[in-house]
Structure 1
Amino acid sequence: MVNRAVLAHRLFTGISRRHLACLTEELAAPWQADLEGRRHVARGGARKRANGAGARHRLVLVDRPVAALIHLRHDLPHAVLGLLFGVDRSTITRPTAEIRPFPAARGCAVPDRPGLRLGTLTDVFAYARAEGIELRLDATEIQVHRPPAGRGGRRAFVSGKKKQNTMKATVIADWRGRTLWTDALRPERMHDATAARNEGIADCFQHFPDVEGPGVSGSWSTTCSNSIYPRAGWRCRAACCSRSRPDAVPR
């Protein structure tokens, strides 16, 4: 078992201890509300014992974001994390699965704008139009477990580049490469242009005419294949159009 104060170091989590403390404090209320809601459903009614009664958590709230961040940042198996925290693997799997949706629901922070967060694709396009900034869009591959045998569409997850089972996520960043939005998970073999249509990126260009992409002439269906390029990515600028290909968003 490793000292849990050491595991909270930024080399493991990727964020400072001060940021981690603020994150834990922000997650306390929604996590407690979700916990009491699940307990209410399991009991079938209101609490019959005083607060604090019953078994204690082996992995308290302070440790759950740490375990989730280490797993996401370093891709450590839950069994290894259980060894580091001195608990069983299942004690890591369930709490981290419960805590991960709460940071994701917070959205992405906006650089140099404390307190402002972008939670949806519409928020990102509205922010780009209001601030007149350049957005860079690209897809990144995420390695996943091999789908079970006999599952339909199993081959769609095989990456021809990495020779592994992966999924793609669409990433939107500003001109400095700072992430503003990440979503649109899909199997690796789905083309970026198809994902852009399915996830509503094309609709956002119609609702926000001031935000334009490299191929703005004609309909989206005729220019999308040229605007989204898997290797070099693509970018859109508010109230201005640039046709040069940018570098990909840092992975």
Structure 2
Amino acid sequence: MGRTAPGETGRLLFCSSAQPASCADITHARQLGLVKQLAEGPFVEILADAGYQGLGAQTGGRVITPPHRKFKKNPPDWYEEVHERQRKAHSSRRIRVEHGIAHLENWRALARHHGRRKHMSDIIQAVAGLLLHQQTATRGSDQPQ
């Protein structure tokens, strides 16, 4: 998930533990209580993918997903152009989130994990912590003194 708040953009906001079975992103977020935390917490803008469609209404507009296609069959002529423009606008803003996810996935411990699955959650949390520390340290050095 990406985060946009006044003064800060594109920081890692949350990294959950690995789950043993496949589970939809939105279901996992609900089970972890993220929806409630986002709805009740300070306003941050979360740029999510289509897997989180519908959370915007449940979180007071904090989760922003790509536009939902309203006309599946025989859309009006004007609709395709509007939908494509909205989709590209969201995609252009979300690219930084995708780069952050890719950066996290490029860590060798995650890319070449051959160990036991029970240790994967610990490895993910450690790498996410290191990445967050790296981002914070990099931002701090860019700030004028």
TM-score under structure 2 length normalisation: 0.32
Flag the structure with higher helix content: 2
TM-score under structure 1 length normalisation: 0.20
Larger radius of gyration: 1
Specify which structure has the bigger relative contact order, considering alpha-carbon pairs within 8 angstroms and separated by 6 or more residues: 2
Flag the structure with higher strand content: 1
